[in-house]
Amino acid sequence: ETGVTQSPTHLIKTRGQQVTLRCSSQSGHNTVSWYQQALGQGPQFIFQYYREEENGRGNFPPRFSGLQFPNYSSELNVNALELDDSALYLCASSLGGAGIEQYFGPGTRLTVT
Asked if 18 touches other proteins (CB under 8 A), the answer is no
Per rule CB under 8 A, is residue 66 in the interface with other proteins?
no
31: contact with other proteins by CB under 8 A: yes
Smallest separation (angstroms) from other proteins to the CB of 113 = 20
Provide the 8-state DSSP code for 39.
Answer: T
Which residues are within 8 A (CB) of 50 and not within 5 positions of it... i.e. 6 or more apart?
Answer: 30, 31, 68, 96, 97, 99
Amino acid at 10: H
**CA–CA separation, 84 and 19 (whole Å):** 14
Which residue, 43 or 112, is less far from other proteins as judged by CB?
43
| Least Å from the CB of residue 112 to other proteins | 19
The answer to whether residues 21 and 6 touch, using CB atoms and an 8 Å cutoff, is yes
- List interacting residues with other proteins (CB under 8 A): 2, 31, 33, 35, 40-45, 48, 50, 55-56, 58, 88, 90, 97-107
